[in-house]
Chains A and B, each alone.
Chain A
Amino acid sequence: MNSKTVSILEGNTFVVSDLQGDIDASPSEPTGLFAWDTRMLSRWILTLNGVRPDLLSTDDLSYYAIQFFLVPGTGTIYINPDLSIFRKRMVGRGFHEELLILNHRSEAVDLTVRMEAGSDFADLFEVKDALAKKGELYQRIEGGRLVLGYRREQFVRETWVTSSAPAEIDGHGLTFDVHLEPQGSWSTDLDVIAATAVSGMQTTRVKYLREHISAKPEMQLNLEQWIENAPSLNCDWNWFERIYQRSLVDLAALRYYPRLLSDKSLPAAGLPWFMTIFGRDSVITSLQSLPFTPELAGTTLVALAAQQGTIIDDFRDEEPGKILHEVRFGEMTAFEERPQSPYYGSADSTPLFLILLDEYERWTGDAHLVKRLELEARAALHWIDAYGDRNGDGYVEYESRNKETGLENQCWKDSWNSILFADGSPSRLPRATCEIQGYVYDAKMRCARLARHFWNDPKLAERLEREAAELKRRFNQDFWLPEREFFALALDGDGKKVDSLTSNIGHLLWSGIVDKEKAEACVRHLMGEQLFSGWGVRTMAMSEGGYNPVGYHLGTVWPHDNSLIAWGLRRYGYRAEAAKIAAGMLAAAIYFKGRLPEAFAGYPRALTRFPVEYPTACSPQAWSTGTPLLLLRTLLGLEPDGEHLLADPAVPRMFKRLDLLSIPGRWGHIDVCSRGTLDLVGMDSSLPFTF
């Protein structure tokens, strides 16, 4: 998110405004009030006597409420302002805004206060791609409210604007004639109601009104409970505690309540573009947060299972048993101009779903859910073999069935040009990227455990173990580049090894598909200067033809990627290397006030001394928010073992003490305390580790 905007959100309703509280959206700017992937308000501008006030300060202490402190625009700093303007805003089914004006003069003042209101009802996709509308916009004034509307056939979206103080309402806003006594004040409550949203049913009021702002509303109580239920972290390096708190609060903010389970939440992918369910992002964030907030994983599994693919549908890239990629509710999705209803274009979400199912049971002991989702898990396994492996070569590969609006790349590096040869040339479809094979291996091994212990099907368990072993054997031959000693990024449509050195090899360590004797070479590459920037592992090594330090998946550093790599390093026993990645990531987080962005530039740390944010990165982004959590698990070496939680801390010396208290799980709650003993070789720990 741009630092010149501020946002508040609840579920998939959010408000993005400038620092004064105004919304003045251009067609391609993601500012406004958004609900269900539609911009419900694109213009919301406050003026006093025709002039926009100046900003004193913005207070965005919570994720759902914000205050703006303003003074009249005087055009010069040499005149003391004699009025104060406070705007207090709270989101929920639209937003509630309290406008308060104070007169500091000893004489009365008459003012014309105007709030301009308008909406373009843009679909989020239209905002992203700057597209034009096909239906008709309208305004009307009825029952003391301004109705802003949009109609295309039976698709109707309306926003209602009301005021508690008397106003002159026209089609473009509300005007107030305000008389202020000496030292007097004036106020009004403005409600902007997302009146018709996805269900076509009418909402007649916003969720939170004036009395809720001082009384703690549900969201605040919910947040306090959320933080209280999570383990508490004590670290002598205080930044870690702050980063951890930031992660918990952001994770709370990114909770998304799917319609099928209205009282339970799962992680949406990120603000502003991705306040929706993404299969991959929701699963990875749930994996990262399992030791901290295990309920997210349970909801994610149930919600994804409920929308698992049932038929072959080319437009949606849907296949029986496949786990969805993305769900949207905007106009373009409704009219099938985009396929997200839901869209199934990811080849990794299905094995990742199975991995989460097993990992969830290992932490929580919730055998009931594993049994309940047996059919869905079997359908997912069926998808891997029957559809994921498109050409019968034993590997899962992807190529969209939808040539117009489907995704070119259906792995996590989903930009169109992410899968390149070492000389920078493009690869051909269909592509079998390496990490997906790792996920499939892991999914089959884990489902073998589930089949044996919960599904009463030892034959299935044996078959899955046999298939996984065969996959591992073949993969270590077919993807290995003996002359460069790492695994190819992919096998492409011509059967060629896509030979770029990328971060994907770290995911292979996480999955366990790497032969022991090949692991050391992979680690050497991951920690070498071509891949490791000093902050973290780049998506692509500097040595490669496609490398670009600000290319989305071609050289930037992605926090979630690094958290999985660190987990993989621990799996293969590389404790110091995992700790080094954790230390680099946490140091970077300081520069983002404790909130790791989606990605940052791949410049060497020694060159910039500062992690340069990637221009259009989403923030907060769920799997970046989950990154410090998984790094914490990795540093402490937390691993469930039957009814017990094992800990094997490998903590850098600069953290001194690192204690995680009251870790929830099938064991009840457990404290893990550790001391930093590791010295990190080749890591500059001077600057960010002191205050």
Chain B
Amino acid sequence: MDDPITTFFERLATRGYEPLLHTVSGTYRFEIADAGNWGVMVTQGTLSVTRELPQASCVIICTRDLFCAIVQGEQNPTTAFMQGRVQVKGSLSLAQVFQRIFRVRPETRLAWEVTGE
């Protein structure tokens, strides 16, 4: 059975450029209990994923179950954070803008990839 967390980060790694993050540059570390650490680097929307990232400007910490619920769209990341179920160390602004990654559906692409007529 595919692990949704591994799948999520593997898909992220193949995404390359994410227009929703086109204004974002920063480094993230996800510390997911029982699922390990993942690092994500964003340079003006261009993404890369690693398993090792000692330095990160934004560290996001939560449980495996919660992260699964977030990547599967069952839990809103902002309210999970507000409830105290997601911890953020470092830049809150980077965390806030990254949560858009979890909220991408086909209709999002229609709005963000319009290039004139």
Contacts and interface: CB of A to CB of B under 8 A. Distances in A.
Interface string B10-49: 0000000001101100000000000000000000000000
A334 to B, nearest CB: 4
A310 B117 contact: no
Interface string B80-110: 0011110110001100110010011101101
Interface in A332-347: 333-336, 341-342
B83 A457 contact: no
Interface of B: 19-20, 22-23, 76, 78-79, 82-85, 87-88, 92-93, 96-97, 100, 103-105, 107-108, 110-112, 114-117
Contact of A154 (B84, B96, B105): B84
B82 A198 contact: yes
B100 to A, nearest CB: 6
B82 A329 contact: yes
A201 to B, nearest CB: 8
B23 A386 contact: no
A336 B113 CA distance: 30
A200 interface: yes
B110 A310 contact: no
Given A259-B92, A261-B93, A460-B117, A310 B108 contact: yes
Interface residues of A, number: 42
A375 interface: yes
Contacts of A459: 116-117
Contact of A311 (B19, B23, B78, B104): B104
B92 A260 contact: yes
A341 B114 contact: no
A10 B92 CA distance: 19
A198 B88 CA distance: 11
A28 B87 CA distance: 32
B111 A463 contact: no
Contacts of B100: 310
Nearest to B24: A306
Nearest to B104: A310
B103 A382 contact: no
A378 interface: yes
B111 A379 contact: yes
B26 to A, nearest CB: 11
Interface string A366-378: 0000001001001
B22 A154 contact: no
A320 B83 CA distance: 25
A624 B103 CA distance: 36
Contacts of A156: 84
A370 to B, nearest CB: 13
A335 B83 contact: yes
B88 A199 contact: yes
B82 A386 contact: no
Given A320-B111, A321-B111, 8 more contacts: A153-B83, A310-B108, A320-B112, A334-B79, A336-B79, A375-B112, A382-B110, A451-B116
A288 B62 CA distance: 43
Contacts of A313: 103
A336 B76 contact: yes
B93 A262 contact: yes
A319 B107 CA distance: 9
A367 B84 CA distance: 40
A260 B24 CA distance: 11
Contact of B85 (A154, A199, A305, A382): A154
Interface string A246-281: 000000000000011110000000000000000000
Contact of A375 (B19, B92, B117): B19
A341 B76 contact: yes
Contacts of B20: 310
19 contacts: A153-B83, A153-B85, A154-B84, A155-B82, A200-B84, A259-B92, A262-B93, A307-B96, A310-B111, A310-B112, A311-B105, A313-B103, A319-B107, A321-B112, A341-B82, A378-B114, A379-B114, A386-B111, A459-B116
A383 interface: yes
Contacts of B105: 310-312
B22 A375 contact: yes
Interface in A222-268: 259-262
B83 A154 contact: yes
B70 to A, nearest CB: 14
Given A333-B79, A341-B76, A320 B116 contact: no
B79 A260 contact: no
A320 B96 contact: no
A311 B20 CA distance: 12
Contact of B84 (A155, A336, A386): A155
B92 A457 contact: no
Interface hub of A261, A375, A383, A457 (most chain B Cβ within 10 A): A375
Nearest to B84: A154
B83 A155 contact: yes
A382 B114 contact: yes
- 6 nearest interchain CB pairs? A260-B93, A320-B111, A334-B82, A154-B84, A321-B111, A379-B111
Given A156-B84, A259-B93, A341-B76, A320 B107 contact: yes
A199 B90 CA distance: 11
Nearest to B20: A310
Nearest to A306: B97
Given A199-B92, A310-B100, A312-B107, A341 B19 contact: no
B92 A379 contact: no
